[in-house]
Structure 1
Amino acid sequence: MSKKIGRGGVFYREFTTLSVVHTHCLMVGMVFFLLLVVVEKNFHFIDNKVLRYLLFYHIGLNLTVVMLTIRGVVQVLSLDASIAVLIGIAHLILGISMVLVLILI
């Protein structure tokens, strides 16, 4: 059992570019929603339209995390894969949905 736990640490250590994924998850995944909870408590703006935008936000966030992980592995292994377009699309979905939610506030 301890071998399985150690493998995750070795994977993270060897693929040091994956620290970007951790930062994205923390800032975009947690801080945005903590701020959203504080604003919701004061303004009560959550409705079906906002929930739809938040669904797109989650799709963009998950796609961003997956694509950054794949990019990190591809980069460390020196593979030839062009995935910048997919990362860009994921960031675009994330950014547009964030702006739409902030406009509705």
Structure 2
Amino acid sequence: MKKYLNLSMFYLVLGLVLGVFYREFTKINGFEGQTVLGAVHSHVLVLGFLFFLIVLLLEKNFKISEVKHFGKWLIFHNVALIYMLSTLVARGILQVTGKDFSGLSHIAGLSHAIFGISLVWFMVILKKSIK
């Protein structure tokens, strides 16, 4: 269970750092307006920090880590989340600097699809652990 607490703390720190990065990066570049960077902070806090706190509670109550392939899911989920967050940060940086980011849309869409697969896989694991 300490692993899930550590993951939660990692995503908390990452979310806070990205929040500060968003504020300072837009200020340094004199950017005013909407950018994807503003959403990264909340994505990390909800999909990383809060999610792994919930996983910790589910582990305590249902022993979800005993379900077959949970370890593979855990790796897959973290890779998918970091991939998705990276595409959001890249798109936000390109928006603030005024560069073209048209090709990034497909990459960002793929990252969201992979993350969606991870969430569905998690629900399957959770269902098996409750049986």
Into which bin does the TM-score normalised by the smaller protein fall? 0.7 to 0.9
Where relative contact order (Cα < 8 A, 6+ residues apart) is larger, the structure is 1
Q: Secondary structure at the match of 2:99?
A: coil
TM-score by length of 1: 0.82
CA distance in 1, matches of 2:25, 2:79: 25
Match of 2:107 among 75, 82, 86: 86
Same amino acid, percent of matched pairs:
33
Q: What is the aligned residue count? A: 98
Q: Does 1:61 align with 2:61?
A: no
Name the structure 1 match of 2:45.
Answer: 26
- Give the 3 Å change call, closer, same or farther, for CA 10–20 of structure 1 in structure 2: same
- Give the 3 Å change call, closer, same or farther, for CA 75–12 of structure 1 in structure 2: closer
2:26–2:96 CA contact under 8 A, matched in 1: no
Deviation per residue, 1:26-75 (Å, 9 max, x gap): 00011111111111111112035011011111011101111101101111
Q: Which runs of 4+ in 1 moved over 2 A?
A: 12-17
Task: Measure how far apart 1:103 and its partner are.
Answer: 1.1
Q: Secondary structure at the match of 1:65?
A: helix
Deviation per residue, 1:63-90 (Å, 9 max, x gap): 1111101101111222122201111111
CA distance in 1, matches of 2:25, 2:113: 29
Long gaps (5+) in structure 2: 1-20, 127-131
Equivalences for 1:1-105 in 2 at 5 Å? 8=21, 10-13=24-27, 14=29, 17=35, 18-47=37-66, 49-81=69-101, 82-105=103-126
CA distance in 1, matches of 2:40, 2:118: 20
